[in-house]
Chain A
Amino acid sequence: MTSGARLDGFKKAVSGKLDIVQTVSADWDRQKALTAATDILRARPGLKGFFAANDDMGLGIVRAIQNAGKAGKVKVISVDGIKDALESVGQGQLTATVSQYPYSIGQMGMEALQGRRVRQAAPRQRRGPSAAGDQGRRRQGHQQLPEAVRLLRRPLQGARRLTIARHPGTGVIQSPAPAAEEHHV
């Protein structure tokens, strides 16, 4: 499994807004990401931020930035919304993490299959729900990341109406709000 799709999505979203200077492979691994980020920070002192395809790598990058004495100066956004990442966001270290909703994605997959069975045309591609948690929007613990989207009778047809149950005090941007608009790589 590669991070190709996540990187492609990121590149598409930031094209024209940010300069992507380098892409390194760290195999989803925190230690490798730490080592690579240490090297990159040294080679490119003017770097503004990192995008990591999972939170483990994001947390490794955060550590590298702290070691380099650049905490707060270089931003890091990663994907998944694991517990450690949300805590790190709460502590103002990781800039933001983008979370997906496997429950809803699974539901949409099954809906598509059912649609095929009754010969309904299923869309080739449909955007699943996601949310980005960052410091400004959430000040409480990690428990507040929204649970799965409420059950919809026909998520595929109603994908445009997908809403994420928003708990009070959460730091979550609803899909499809861009996750990384103000962060520079």
Chain B
Amino acid sequence: MSDTNTAVPVSDTEPLTVRLRDVGFWADWAAVVGLIALSIVFFIATPAFLTVGNVEAMLVAAAILVVLAVGQTFVIATAGIDLSVASTMTLGAVMLGWASSRGWNIALACALGVLASGVVGLANGLLVAKGRITDFIVTLGTLSAASGAALVISDGKPVQVPSTFLLRLASGTVGPFGYSVLVAAVVAVLAHVALFRTRFGVHLLATGGDRESARAMGVNTDGMKIAVYTISGVLAGLAAILLVARIGAAEPAANTAFLLNSVAAVVLGGVSLFGGRGTIIGPVVGALLLTALVNGLTLLGVSQFYQPVAVGIVVVLAALLTRFQR
């Protein structure tokens, strides 16, 4: 990159040339820088990477992770962590499939899925806020309980969900963008507005920054904890709808990759695991980066065993870079 790069938004009063020499600037934009660098490398290696079709496919593949990562961002911004996010999604998907296989209307089935996931999120929030148990332990417990419940309800078997509505959700497009991409985009925009343009967002970040001080200032910190976990649960339910639509079935699969990738996307996006600071655009780009990385490696035919190694290296490098955040 040269000093003549003007594509990066300027918010500070310093001249761009000064800011580009500041390592903190690069740290703040780690995910974006990583995504651009990766795109250039993959495009040189295989021109198929930046074709319209491949970019569309990547966005569709990333939609579920984006929705989960946004929910995870809310939780992590309050210095918590939602380890149950993927299992909660699985439970929502299984409930959707359960209702659908009993002849429920598809809208009701989807609502039941979101409700089930939301209830798990609410339970997380109540246990953390009122039960005074560490976030990590509570969500570790619900991770296991929700995936177990999904196995019980589904009897361990996948169910086909034949629905024209879900099929259209998975394959329909507006211009170049799939419906699922638009859903993820709307979620991200609403989350950004909620976090940075409302009192709720200010209270949320205050809770994450310093819970005791926030409480002394009159912020309902318990309410904030309950709210963020419920949001994460509801978004996991929404992700469940996207997942069932994508594969055409509801599976009691563990989906652990979604959990790890949602945390990785949030970290890549420069959100502090200690709470109090973060963005929505960061984790969204982080999710795109992780998806693009696996996509590019697959297009290149890189051996299956090297792919997780590459993902791990990228996540740790990005985390190293975020240490230099201002």
Which A residues contact B (CB, under 8 angstroms)?
21-25, 27-32, 34-36, 38-40, 42-43, 56, 59-60, 63, 67, 82-84, 87
Contact = CB atoms under 8 A, between A and B. Distances in A.
A91 B300 CA distance: 33
A42 B157 CA distance: 31
Q: What 3 pairs across the A-B complex have the smallest Cβ distances? A: A25-B304, A39-B298, A43-B299
9 contacts: A23-B303, A25-B304, A30-B249, A30-B251, A30-B253, A36-B298, A42-B48, A56-B253, A84-B249
Contact of B158 (A35, A38, A84): A84
Main secondary structure of the interface of A (DSSP, over half): helix
A39 B295 contact: yes
Given A30-B249, A84-B249, A42 B158 contact: no
Interface stretch (B14-22, B53-61, B222-230): B53-61
A25 B305 contact: yes
Given A29-B255, A43-B46, A43-B48, A34 B247 contact: yes
A137 B244 CA distance: 31
B247 A30 contact: yes
Given A42-B57, A87-B160, A25 B298 contact: no
A56 B159 CA distance: 11
Main secondary structure of the interface of B (DSSP, over half): helix
Contacts of B298: 24, 36, 39-40, 43
Contact of A24 (B64, B255, B304): B304
Given A25-B307, A42-B299, A60 B247 contact: yes
B301 interface: yes
B148 interface: no
Contacts of B53: 42
Give the residue among A34, A38, A83 with the most B Cβ atoms within 10 A.
Answer: A38
B299 A39 contact: yes
Nearest to B171: A67
B14 to A, nearest CB: 41
Contacts of A36: 298
Contacts of B257: 27, 29, 32
B246 interface: yes
B243 interface: yes
Contacts of A22: 301
